[in-house]
A and B are shown apart, each in its own frame.
Chain A
Amino acid sequence: AQKVTQAQTEISVVEKEDVTLDCVYETRDTTYYLFWYKQPPSGELVFLIRRNSFDEQNEISGRYSWNFQKSTSSFNFTITASQVVDSAVYFCALSDPTSGTYKYIFGTGTRLKVLA
């Protein structure tokens, strides 16, 4: 069965600190996609990144970076020099496109609080 685990329920950091959000997934499929979403207090889910199972290259986008390691089934998300606007709940999700359903399995989310 597919599963996504975000063990960190809540993290608090002081502005300008770096913070890493962990995501561990389980799947028997060889083809899958991983995603990160941000949910600010307004409630809308904002798409951040997609990574497919064949591409283990790490990615950097401004202050955001993602580390995908198939060997440990992890897809961690790092925010460098955090800002108050980064305060939100972050969700990791797994999708199996070969199933034909394109459904997501969401993790339980990590609430990030960045203090000024």
Chain B
Amino acid sequence: SAVISQKPSRDICQRGTSLTIQCQVDSQVTMMFWYRQQPGQSLTLIATANQGSEATYESGFVIDKFPISRPNLTFSTLTVSNMSPEDSSIYLCSVAVQGLFYEQYFGPGTRLTVT
């Protein structure tokens, strides 16, 4: 498995501002993902963070709103830009471990509240 940490664990932000969430893994992994979980809902994949190239975004998510960086195989950031109350969610990063049948392991999540 992999140990994943996220910063911050929670934040309360004003609308119109931006927040950058960090995800750190204790080992090199090929695949990293970012998910959003709105209150009481399931997980929705935002994008796959690709090392050394632009992230691959899912339908409904755009780079201008959710820019992602992945400078190396153990670290990624997700920025939530120009926030509105609708962005209030838990944001989770996950990694897929190739040697373990691509099981995904999740970070503890970042609880974001936008006021």
Contact = CB atoms under 8 A, between A and B. Distances in A.
A43 B101 contact: no
Interface residues on A, range: 20 to 34
B42 A109 contact: yes
26 contacts: A33-B101, A33-B102, A35-B103, A43-B108, A43-B111, A44-B107, A44-B108, A45-B43, A45-B94, A45-B106, A47-B104, A47-B106, A50-B101, A50-B103, A52-B101, A91-B42, A95-B102, A97-B101, A97-B102, A102-B31, A102-B104, A103-B48, A104-B43, A104-B104, A106-B42, A109-B42
Contacts of B57: none
Contacts of A45: 43, 92, 94, 106
Contacts of B107: 44
A47 B94 CA distance: 11
Interface of B: 1, 31, 33, 41-43, 45, 48, 90, 92, 94, 96, 100-109, 111
